[in-house]
Amino acid sequence: MRSQRALRVLCRDTLKVLDLDLPLDVTQLCDRHGARRGRPIRLIAHPLPAGMPNGVWLAADDADYFFYQANTSPLHQQQIIIHEFGHLIAGHQMLGAVSASALTAPADDDSTAALQRTCYADDREWEAEMLASMILSWAAEAADTVGTTPRNDDLRGIARLLGGHKGWL
């Protein structure tokens, strides 16, 4: 298991090159990270069944798919997506050979099996949760630094901000 310090470094190295806007937009986060590494991240809202995780990361041939719970609030959905993003940047890949269509047919036995295999060991859950909370707290701090001037182009873009940012990142 990684140390908190190692996770901070991972988080910082991932975020600082993405030139994200504030406040944090998880769709932009996933789009930019996907574009940068040349493998898209596709976000798909899906009514995941009770007893299953609220988010599932599926590594398909063409892209990484984050299936997130359709039946919850937008805020919770953001948290789910950032949690899956944490698994992704930490390299916790589990599902490789499953097709995306398997997950979109919840009555199917294969999809249930696929979802059940996405229950990670506790240390991986801890790493994903730490990364998610680091991303969120960094975004909150960075947004505070920018203040309420989102229309000021000079202040938009996290990369520019990082030069003078005194927070943990």
Chain residues that interact with Zn ion, rule: CB under 5 A = 125, 128
Spatial strand order of the sheet with 55-59 comes to: 41-46, 64-69, 55-59
CB of 81 to Zn ion, least distance (A): 12
Instruction: Tell me how far apart the alpha carbons of residues 142 and 158 are, in angstroms, rounded to a whole number.
Output: 8
CB of 120 to Zn ion, least distance (A): 5
CB of 53 to Zn ion, least distance (A): 6
Measured from the Cβ of residue 26, the count of other Cβ atoms closer than 10 Å reads 22
The residue (of 22 and 92) whose beta carbon lies closer to Zn ion is: 92
The residue (of 84 and 138) whose beta carbon lies closer to Zn ion is: 84
Measured from the Cβ of residue 68, the count of other Cβ atoms closer than 10 Å reads 24
CB 91 within 8 A of CB 29: no
The residue (of 14 and 118) whose beta carbon lies closer to Zn ion is: 118
The residue (of 25 and 125) whose beta carbon lies closer to Zn ion is: 125
CB of 46 to Zn ion, least distance (A): 16
